[in-house]
Amino acid sequence: MIVAAGQFIVTPDWERNAESCVALMQEAAQHNAALLVLPEALLARADDDPDLSVKSAQTLDGGFLSLLRAESRRNAMTTVLTLHVPSSAGRAVNTLVALRGGEVIAHYEKLHLYDAFNIQESRLVDAGHQLPPLIEVEDLRVGLMTCYDLRFPELALALALQGAELLALPAAWVRGPLKEHHWSTLIAARALDTTCFMVASGECGSRNIGLSRIVDPLGVTLAGASDHQQVIYAEVNHEHLLQIRSKLPVLQNRRFAPPQLL
């Protein structure tokens, strides 16, 4: 099947951002993609207001997701992204949603909040308390992760041990010294840890690096984006995954008990 990762610059205007998401969904559907992964925190962003994503939070039945759900009804594709959903006064939950057929078929509240590199996501965002679900996309089981989750191998491994064969990762990877290196290295590492395909989408612009990637279970980059708006594509299949896992059976060879995350 064909998988895709789309990236764009998130603006302060949620309606404009929804239009950008719809355009990327249309493009991916025209390329017969079965799965499209979009970036993290797509409602709104501004360089001069780091709290705008939370201030702009919407419920899952709000206007932003309604526009995306309408587009989802026009194709057979599964689309994965995250947005901030209100939790209490002035606070929100960074929520991943998977759309198919115009409906939210799964959602996940981000476990690992980005309290690093002089940024404190937990100041206004509440962490989730449950492992992400697996979803079926054609003949592959897909595990769901969000951005900073990438730095925690036990989450990816827990998903793989539950049956994940592909990991979908919306992200807004902040620029900084060596951050591009961290991004590419960690995506390949999580693929190798789990022998899963990885589809990672990164928001681009002045704050975040873009550089979306699709990586195979041996850590090989099948498609990579630069730092501007685009959609990348790759073909993945279950047979190739089984061949790799037969040669590199790390999930079977483990000598430690499955990680207990929560």
Q: Which of 21, 40, 121, 165 is catalytic?
A: 40
Q: Which of 21, 109, 110, 204 is catalytic?
A: 110
Task: Look at residue 225 and tell me if it is in a domain.
Answer: yes
Task: Look at residue 257 and tell me if it is in a domain.
Answer: no
Task: Look at residue 28 and tell me if it is in a domain.
Answer: yes
Mean pLDDT of 130-135: 96
CA-CA distance, 169 to 145, in Å (whole number)?
A: 5
pLDDT-based confidence at residue 19 (cuts at 50, 70, 90): very high
Residues 175-227: tens digit of each pLDDT: 999 999 999 999 999 999 999 999 999 999 999 999 999 999 999 999 999 99
Are the C-beta atoms of residues 190 and 167 closer than 8 Å to each other? yes
**Helix residue spans in the chain (DSSP H):** 14-30, 52-55, 63-72, 153-161, 179-194, 238-247, 250-253
CATH of the domain at 39: 3.60.110.10
Mean pLDDT of 46-55: 94
Q: Has 204 been annotated as catalytic?
A: no
Task: Look at residue 259 and tell me if it is in a domain.
Answer: no
Task: Look at residue 261 and tell me if it is in a domain.
Answer: no
* Structural domain count of the chain: 1
What DSSP element (H or E) covers 201?
strand 197-202
Q: Is the pLDDT of residue 72 over 90?
A: yes
pLDDT of residue 256: 85
Mean pLDDT of 14-35: 98
Task: Look at residue 239 and tell me if it is in a domain.
Answer: yes
Question: What is the pTM (predicted TM-score) of this model?
Answer: 0.97
Q: Is the pLDDT of residue 262 over 70?
A: no
Which residue range(s) make up the domain with 87? 2-249
Task: Look at residue 238 and tell me if it is in a domain.
Answer: yes
Q: Has 40 been annotated as catalytic?
A: yes
CA-CA distance, 35 to 246, in Å (whole number)?
A: 25
Task: Look at residue 254 and tell me if it is in a domain.
Answer: no
